[in-house]
Amino acid sequence: MSLHTFLSICSSPLLIVSACSANKNCGDLDKGSLLTEHDLDDPVRRAVAELRLKSYSLPAAQMYMGLGHEFVREAITMLRDHGYFVSHFILSAGYGFLNENDVIVPYNVTFAKKSKKWIRERGQRLGLSDRLVAIAKECDRAILILGREYLEAIGLPLPAEKLPRTIAYVAPSFVGRIGKGLETIPVGETERRELGVYPTFVKEKKFKVDTFQVLGIQA
């Protein structure tokens, strides 16, 4: 599957879902000052902690500074410049699904190096599967650019029958697990070597390169 036919129509609403990044725009804050999962899950603790870090609050699109996030944002900017109506949501291990304009404060919650049990339970606590369906209802097509842990957190297979036409950038080993009816673009070691990037953001770089090619732009 290629992205070209998927992006052949720019007039209908397009949902893009990507992952958060560990690198955040939080200035000189030390790790111990960041919100934890316990802060975020408790309404009272969350309110107090968010007030404490209010001066560091930013829209989600600006909070994340990882290279993968930057690749996705560059592609989205170009799509919008070419007339596409794009809704961008970021999947956070702390907050759950975030609209790019949702204002958040720095936190330290990650799926990295966590057990599958923890990841799945975290995803259930955040209601990720139902939330994805709700978000996707607003759009005619969806593009998912998510790593293994994020897909596990949503829950596999994905609820394909409740989603619009969807294409997912996934590791080759996840093609058969993603869900029947969903289209995939496998991204593995071959693509990593071709693009010359680290495995942690090869899917995002591939998405950017594909998008630029569709739009006729030099990446």
Q: Where are the domains of the chain?
A: 3-215
Query: Phi and psi (nearest 5°) for 181?
Result: 100, -10
Q: Which position has the higher pLDDT, 164 or 217?
A: 164
Span 49-105, pLDDT tens digits? 999 999 999 999 999 999 999 999 999 999 999 999 999 999 999 999 999 999 999
* Cα 57 from Cα 60, distance rounded (Å): 9
Query: Phi and psi (nearest 5°) for 208?
Result: -65, -50
Sequence-ordered list of residues with C-beta below 8 angstroms from that of 118, at least 6 positions apart, any chain: none
* Cα 51 from Cα 208, distance rounded (Å): 36
Mean of per-residue pLDDT scores for the chain: 94
Across 148-156, average pLDDT:
97
Residue 175 burial by Cβ neighbours in a 10 Å radius (0-12, 13-18, 19+): middle
pLDDT recorded at residue 8: 80
pLDDT recorded at residue 2: 76
* Cα 90 from Cα 107, distance rounded (Å): 14
pLDDT recorded at residue 190: 94
Span 100-124, pLDDT tens digits? 999 999 999 999 989 999 999 999 9
3-state DSSP assignment of residue 9: coil
Looking at the chain, the whole-number percentage of residues with pLDDT higher than 70 is 99
Residue 219, pLDDT > 80, answer no
Chain-centroid distance, C-alpha 60: 11
Q: Residue 134 is which amino acid? A: A
Is the torsion defined by CA of 139, 144, 150, 154 positive or negative?
A: positive
* CATH node for 3-215: 3.40.50
Residue 28, pLDDT > 90, answer no
pLDDT recorded at residue 7: 86
Do residues 121 and 66 touch, judged by C-beta distance below 8 A?
A: no
User: What is the DSSP-derived secondary structure letter of residue 35?
Assistant: B
3-state DSSP assignment of residue 121: helix
Do residues 57 and 104 touch, judged by C-beta distance below 8 A?
A: yes
Span 178-206, pLDDT tens digits? 999 999 999 999 999 999 999 999 999 99
Sequence-ordered list of residues with C-beta below 8 angstroms from that of 108, at least 6 positions apart, any chain: 31, 34, 35, 36, 94
Span 36-55, pLDDT tens digits? 999 999 999 999 999 999 99
Residue 1, pLDDT > 80, answer no
Residue 169, pLDDT > 70, answer yes
